[in-house]
Amino acid sequence: MDRQSQTTSLQRLQNVEKKIVRVLELAGSVMDEMANPSGPRKDLVNSHCTEFMQLVKDTQMTLRGEIKSACDYRPFEKCDYVPRITNEISCKKLEHVIAQLDEMKQTIEGYGDAA
């Protein structure tokens, strides 16, 4: 994920955060209106509920898009850990084989000296 797309992704998530705050404000306003002793104003409750539902829908769509783009992003694509560890393991195996060959050479030389 390049720097530009990270920035725009963070901006989109910041906008989602602002929408969530607005959703909570709307919910609180509706609750206040419902608790009004003179009764709730139907037009105000309807407009708040409509805005609430639209913001929830927009938030869901934005978050789905961000989750999808995060799944498409593979941060370990350029990671060299696996090849590097494989190389280190191969080196250790070679060191072990060389040590075994040295021991075999010493054993053969020991038989040659004894004869």
Query: In this predicted model, what pLDDT tens digit does every residue of 13-41 receive, in sequence order?
Result: 899 999 999 999 999 999 999 998 998 99
DSSP assigned state of 48:
H
List all residues 6 or more positions away from 40 whose beta carbon is below 8 Å from its beta carbon. Answer: 33, 34
Tens of pLDDT, residue by residue over 68-112, are: 877 666 656 667 788 889 999 999 999 999 999 999 998 888 887
- Which amino acid, residue 61? M
Segment holding 84, helix H or strand E: helix 81-114
CA dihedral of residues 81, 82, 83, 84 (deg, nearest 10): 40
pTM: 0.56
User: If we measure between CA atoms, which residue out of 71, 73, 81, 62 comes closest to residue 15?
Assistant: 62
